[in-house]
Homo-oligomer: A and B are copies of this chain.
Amino acid sequence: MEIALLGGTGDIGEGLALRWAHDTDHELVIGSRDAERAESKAEAYAAELDSRGRDADITGADNATAAAGADVIVLAVPAYHLADTIDAVADDLDDGAVLVTPAVGMKRDEDGFHYNRPGVGSVTELAAEAAPESAPVVGAFHNLPAGRLANLDADLGIDTAIVGDDGDAVETVTAVAEEIEGLRAVDAGPLANAPEIEAITPLLINVAKHNDGMHDLGVRFE
């Protein structure tokens, strides 16, 4: 399977790229608005894998080129770049390509981090509104600890809650999520159930701030 990681030079994108490169044989394309930056990151990831004896299939390209031909496109960009990024690649998507959004909207005040819920209901639903009809949107990877994800020596032991209205797309994303060792995908139902997942991310930051020895947290449902 070909997986594109748009914003694959940022922290969650990097972690997912390294984990898939390490744990699977999928073809990975790192996307960025800056093709050179994407290529250089892809080389760095490949070198990291090479140092662990893995001959990974990772290349870099501008976002539209990365998205073209991919089966799964992860939109690992900040919430405020989500609609722009989808617009930039919409014409290049294969029919039935699955768009995956891990973005969360947050705001910070003197009390801590808070979920900044968009008017349409969630950032995940914002992506669904921006996406072409031929491309089903799935919400996943919202609450992952970026540092541990990108550290291939760290155990995960965490969950990712997945939402989507297209059963086949949810199945595809669930499968690639579970291929990451230590990550369990749980089905949280339709896209409309995304807000409660997105809201966990600011809580994880607040908990990390207030508890010694807890940092870079994920969540587990049990």
Contact = CB atoms under 8 A, between A and B. Distances in A.
Interface of A: 109, 111-112, 114-115, 157-158, 161, 186-190, 192-193, 195-197, 199-200, 202-204, 206-207, 209-211, 214, 217-222
B210 A187 contact: yes
A207 B189 CA distance: 7
Main secondary structure of the interface of A (DSSP, over half): mixed
A157 B222 contact: yes
Interface centre among A109, A188, A196, A214 (most CB of B within 10 A): A196
B210 A115 contact: no
Contact of A221 (B186, B188, B192, B207): B207
Copy number in the complex reads 2
B217 A221 contact: yes
Nearest to A156: B222
Contact of A211 (B186, B195, B207): B186
Contact of A188 (B115, B193, B196, B203): B203
Interface centre among A161, A188, A219 (most CB of B within 10 A): A188
Contacts of A196: 114-115, 199-200, 202-203, 206
A202 to B, nearest CB: 6
Contact of A115 (B111, B187, B195): B195
A199 B157 CA distance: 22
A173 B203 CA distance: 19
